[in-house]
Amino acid sequence: MSSEPILVIKDNDSTIGIRARVGEEFSEHEIQLNVMLAYYWDNDLPVIESLIDLFESAVKRTINEVLPHENLLLKYDLITDDEIEKASRFEIHLIEVKADDTSLRLDGKILALKGISSKEEYSQGILGLKFKKEDGSNEGKIVKSVEKNIPTEKKISFKEFAREQRLKNSK
């Protein structure tokens, strides 16, 4: 089996699956869309921005479990049907993922969700559809190229955290 690091992204109507593998080791996480979307809607949170943050965090955590690293570079195109605050669907097209200086091979590079702007649209079960107008054009799309460097947060004990907070507050 190849020791080349691989990142696999799979989406369906109810989950986003994220899997990283290096040789025989693998890590897998799923984002439960029903739960997360209900939470975002009930708390009036921005749905797409929140899902993107969660997705990036889950990718970082999944990769870090099999390929420990300090910085994760994510390059992707974010495609929406409107301004991000008003969009009802979006796609993430992964272009490059690097853990420190190690590139990961990408399988399932596209995450596509539709009908997430409201509970009513979501309950009609119209997730997972790719952007295409009836005439086959891609009109009405907004494409934004994103490049993020996500550092690994240092894990500290509660005792050390409390000491740092006391020092910070005493200044």
Q: pLDDT at position 129, please?
A: 40
Tell the burial category of 27 from Cβ atoms under 10 Å away from its Cβ (0-12, 13-18, 19+).
Answer: middle
What letter does residue 154 receive in the DSSP assignment? P
Q: What is the pLDDT of residues 70-90, one digit of tens each?
A: 999 999 999 998 888 888 888
Which residue, 17, 4, 12, is CA-closest to 105?
A: 4
Mean pLDDT is lowest, of 40-54, 119-133, 145-159, for 119-133
Global confidence as pTM = 0.78
Q: pLDDT at position 126, please?
A: 43
Q: Is 44 left (phi over 0), alpha (psi -120 to 50) or beta?
A: left
Helices (H), the chain: 33-42, 47-66, 119-123, 158-170
**Tokens coding 106:** 């990408």
- Per-residue pLDDT at 161 exceeds 70: yes
Q: What is the pLDDT of residues 99-147, one digit of tens each?
A: 999 999 999 888 888 767 655 555 555 444 444 444 444 557 899 999 9
